[in-house]
Structure 1
């Protein structure tokens, strides 16, 4: 007997839930460190920024990678050079959109990676790589 799964625009529901959980944990982590999350899951036709936060006059664009185990590698290893380049382009679009709407007011931009490991029966672990790329 074969089973089929409907093709959807994105990961299966359990992976989406894991990703949302990781982003929630990452946003809480940033807030606990004094950053203000100003945007979550900002999208344009070229992609998505997971978290955009402010730390004083510094804009922090955070890529969140969440895993339920390390069988496929550590979460942070999923941020390749190509992914980093795309996130930089998306950040430029985000800033341009903000500027067109009346300003952004940020003196600098930092790109962070938050690697979240969510395992059953344990508190989520967060590794925060500031200025990762």
Structure 2
């Protein structure tokens, strides 16, 4: 008996069940190994149109509700500043594809308002967290 990457006792035949790409998933009283594919993390950078700041205030309640409704995918979000001036925003999003990230952007109440001047969706490769290499 060994332990999976999630420290779940596992009866998987072979020493490789400690590999993070083979987590243990319980099926009744036994443990079944299934392939695991991590979701990708995207950094989404928004630049706001300078003459549309009134839309931010008008839609903030709806925008925050949207973020809460999509908290499973949108891991972190917040405004960006250039000195004391608002410059846009950034999200860290965990989804399977670039297209899914784009759909989230377009579903945000800020999107159709004209507030966003530009958007960049960049795949982020996570290599360091909490003082350790990942």
Q: TM-score range with shorter-chain normalisation?
A: 0.3 to 0.5
Q: Which has the larger strand fraction?
A: 2
Task: Give the TM-score of the pair, scaled to structure 1.
Answer: 0.33
Q: Which has the larger helix fraction?
A: 1
Task: Give the TM-score of the pair, scaled to structure 2.
Answer: 0.33
